[in-house]
Amino acid sequence: MGASAPTPPPPERDRLLDQLLAALLAADQVAAQSVVDRALKLGWSADGARFELITPALHEVGARWERGEIGVADEHLATSVCEWLLITLAGRLRRPRTTGRRALVGCSEGELHTLGALIVANLLSEHGWSVLFLGASTPVDAWRAVVGARRPDLVAVATTRADRLGQVGPILRAIRAARPQCRTVVGGQAYARVPGAVPDVGADLVVVDARELPGRLAARGTG
Ligand code: B12
């Protein structure tokens, strides 16, 4: 099972997506896992399951929560099942030999949406990076401290809420002050939410679609 492969055909994708959504709304971890297993048996890649199933299913869960069709606890349960799916998916893949490059991945201050960052962390691991994953909301001073102590070559900062974008500039400046040679990449739904141009927060790279990340890093000689 490779990490990346061609996009699955739409009818099959729609059917599996419906099944995954039903499993998530029922908070049925076993059923959700079997949908992902079916996709992999059909030849989908891990990235196919991440980007064509799990991500859109969670976006739909959010839309239903926003419309008041499901409660906060339903959304929490769906999220915890997806976290499980993402971790088991990453655990199945054979990782390439590490290249010695170190990446630090986390969320900007105040940001509690962690699954996008988790996907980025897994993706980088599968492309040979040694990855440190910070999880949710890391304050500016803590970014400075961890970058100084752990000396990453790349830092990826995830932001989902557009109203949290103001926190990203100070984080990037703290990273540069701690380690000037460290490259920075930012991404997450916040960058897609702002109408018009993708906001410039001062990162080396802005990547809205995580699938493009390995290629974009390689094109800059960072991958
Ligand atoms: C689960 C969830 C939560 C959980 C998160 C738990 C967790 N462990 O992550 C909890 C309960 C904490 C939560 C809280 C809130 N949430 Co919420 N949440 C969601 C939900 C349903 C799913 C998020 C998710 O995991 N998506 C799946 C991931 C994989 O997708 P993704 O984030 O888009 O990531 C992909 C790309 O964006 C990209 N990417 C992401 N990060 C990065 C980083 C880099 C570097 C790169 C290259 C790429 C990249 O790659 C990923 C892979 O495809 C979304 C719905 C949605 N549209 O996503 C709402 C949503 C994001 N939440 C929303 C809101 C409003 C909130 C709250 C304010 C609610 C409240 N009133 O308390 C709080 C804010 C908390 C905070 N301080 O951050 C809104 C945001 C609206 C907006 N305008 O910003 C959404 C869109 C729901 C909605 N439809 O209204 N939430």
pLDDT tens digit sequence for 144-195: 999 999 999 999 999 999 999 999 999 999 999 999 999 999 999 999 877 7
Closest CA to 158 of 208, 108, 214: 108
Residue from 69, 160, 175 whose mutation best tests the ligand 1 pocket (most atoms within 8 A of CB): 160
Q: What is the pLDDT of residue 1?
A: 43
Of residues 202, 198, 206, the one with CA closest to residue 177: 202
Whose CA is closest to atom 60 on ligand 1?
62
Q: Whose CA is nearest to atom 29 of ligand 1?
A: 116
What predicted TM-score, i.e. pTM, was given to this entire model?
0.95
Ligand 1 mean position, distance from CA 81 (Å): 15
For residue 184, give Cα distances in angstroms to 45, 109, 118. Answer: 27, 16, 17
The residue contributing the CA closest to ligand 1 atom 52 is: 116
